């Protein structure tokens, strides 16, 4: 049986499947989130940078589901590393919630808070405008301080898009290990080395873009289609099941009621099928999410 949750080092239970909320905007996005909550989703993956927090908050409120039955994840935006406390306050206000179950540093990439763009400020030469005299270690120290200052507002803190080098740096500087590292994770980007490091340090990986994001070639892969057909499910269901079977929560996004429902129905794939999915991924290695403010150490 596949688990319906994983337990973090602080004892908190994180659901095995959550709804990604990136690009869930307007009435369609609001209806998708409300539908997901009313039909069994127990986790929402949100971010200040998605600029849809009020809509998410409205969907939470109007879903009629009790706040304590939803695991709400949100993320500190890159341009707010030097103003993290204010970002937290705005996030809680926009979502209309008293606390976050998990607050992540979205990227290890502090960008100019007073730059020429709220998301990707640029310098005159077109390069990314990073925050001066600041780095992600300083940001993690601030997040740790806020976590200690506001235990009623932050149940746990973690990071996203961190590699081994960045994890080592924040742990060494503070002695505080993030409970979660949320990264791109699917068969084509299986994060083997990072998984080993996180396992050794009790950091729970969470899989973002688990289907390969928008226009994913994984969804057209003939070998994956074969595995899906013999298990009478779809490729997305295979990919989500593969993640949960491997030991991490998965946060697929969809704006369609049908696909939202489908993504929650995971299956216990055989060891052979799980291995085959891993092999197909290693033969088609690809990272789908990249950003101008960060270079990943691998693929
Ligand atoms: N921490 C980070 O930096 C970071 C980065 C990227 C993503 N994330 C998080 O991870 C979440 C998921 O990643 P993602 O949004 O990039 O991509 P994803 O969940 O891998 O894929 C989403 C795409 O797959 C389609 N889809 C979903 N279910 C499907 C199904 N059953 N059958 C066919 N197509 C399906 C969706 O289209 P339809 O809407 O039409 O169904 C959408 O185009 C995000 O929403 C966000 O919350 C975090």
Q: What does 23-45 look like in DSSP terms, one character per residue? A: T--HHHHHHHHHHHHHTT--EEE
- pLDDT of 50 above 90: yes
CA distances from 93 to 12, 50, 129, 179, 257 (A): 24, 15, 28, 24, 28
Q: How many CB atoms lie within 10 A of CB 182?
A: 27
Q: Which helix (H) or strand (E) holds 85?
A: helix 84-95
Predicted pLDDT at 105:
99
CA of 148 to the centre of ligand 1 (A): 33
Cα 10 to Cα 75: distance, rounded to the nearest angstrom: 19
Residue nearest to atom 26 of ligand 1 (CA): 254
Listed in sequence order, the residues at least 6 apart from 35 whose beta carbon sits closer than 8 Å to its beta carbon are 257, 260
* 239 touches 211 (CB < 8 A): yes
Token representation of residue 145 = 């301080």
* 146 touches 84 (CB < 8 A): yes
- Testing ligand 1's pocket by substitution, the residue of 180, 183, 254, 296 carrying the most ligand atoms inside 8 A of its CB is 254
**DSSP letter (8 states) at residue 178:** P
Buried b / exposed e across 112-121, counting CB within 10 Å, b at 16+? bbebeeeebb
CA of 216 to the centre of ligand 1 (A): 9
CA of 17 to the centre of ligand 1 (A): 12
Give catalytic status of residue 147 as yes or no.
no
Atom of ligand 1 nearest to the CA of 255: 39
> Which residues are registered as beta bridge partners of 207?
183, 250
- pLDDT of 298 above 90: no
Binding pocket residue ranges, ligand 1, CB within 6 Å: 20-22, 45, 106, 160-161, 182, 208-214, 219, 234, 236, 251-256, 259, 262-263, 289
Residue nearest to atom 10 of ligand 1 (CA): 208
Banded pLDDT at 5 (limits 50, 70, 90)? very high
In the CATH scheme, what is the homologous superfamily, with its name and number, of domain 15-178?
A: NADP-dependent oxidoreductase domain (3.20.20.100)
Where helices occur in 175-291 by DSSP H, the ranges are 192-200, 222-230, 235-246, 257-264, 271-283
- pLDDT of 44 above 90: yes
Q: Tell me the mean pLDDT in the region 59-80.
A: 98
Q: What is the pLDDT of residues 98-147, one digit of tens each?
A: 999 999 999 999 999 999 999 999 999 999 999 999 999 999 999 999 99
Q: What is the pLDDT of residues 205-247, one digit of tens each?
A: 999 999 999 999 999 999 999 999 999 999 999 999 999 999 9
Q: Is the C-alpha dihedral spanning 244, 249, 254, 256 positive or negative?
A: positive
Predicted pLDDT at 173:
98
- pLDDT of 272 above 90: yes
Q: Is the C-alpha dihedral spanning 3, 211, 8, 40 positive or negative?
A: negative
Q: Tell me the mean pLDDT in the region 262-276.
A: 98
Tell which residue, 298, 297, 241, 294, has the closest CA to residue 105.
Answer: 294
CA of 22 to the centre of ligand 1 (A): 8
Banded pLDDT at 152 (limits 50, 70, 90)? very high
- pLDDT of 24 above 90: yes
The SS3 of residue 11 is coil
Q: Tell me the mean pLDDT in the region 48-65.
A: 98
């Amino acid at each position: 049986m596949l688990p319906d949750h994983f337990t973090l080092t602080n004892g908190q239970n994180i659901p095995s499947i959550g709804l990604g909320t990136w690009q869930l905007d307007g009435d369609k996005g609001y209806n998708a989130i409300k539908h997901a909550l009313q039909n069994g989703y127990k986790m929402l993956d949100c971010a200040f940078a998605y600029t849809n927090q009020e809509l998410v908050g409205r969907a939470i409120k109007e879903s009629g589901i009790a706040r304590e039955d939803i695991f709400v994840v949100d993320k500190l935006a890159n341009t707010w590393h030097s103003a993290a406390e204010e970002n937290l306050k705005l996030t809680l206000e926009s979502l209309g919630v008293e606390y976050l179950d998990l607050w992540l540093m979205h990227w290890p990439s502090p960008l100019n808070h007073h730059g020429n763009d709220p998301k990707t400020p640029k310098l005159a030469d077109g390069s990314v405008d990073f925050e001066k005299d600041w780095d992600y270690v300083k940001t993690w120290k601030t997040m740790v301080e806020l976590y200690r200052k506001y235990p009623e507002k932050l149940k746990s803190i973690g990071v996203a898009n961190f590699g081994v080098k960045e994890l080592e740096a924040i742990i060494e500087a503070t002695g505080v290990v993030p409970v979660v590292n949320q990264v791109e994770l699917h068969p084509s980007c299986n994060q083997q080395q990072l998984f080993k490091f996180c396992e050794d340090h009790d950091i729970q990986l969470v899989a973002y873009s688990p289907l390969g994001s928008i226009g994913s070639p994984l969804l057209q892969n003939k070998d994956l289609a074969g595995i899906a057909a013999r298990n009478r499910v779809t490729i997305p269901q295979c990919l989500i099941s593969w993640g949960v079977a491997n030991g991490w929560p998965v946060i697929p996004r969809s704006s369609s009621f049908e696909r939202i429902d489908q993504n929650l129905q995971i299956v216990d794939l055989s060891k052979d099928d799980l291995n085959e999915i891993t092999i197909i991924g290693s033969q088609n290695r690809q990272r789908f999410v990249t950003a101008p403010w960060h270079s990943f150490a691998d693929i």
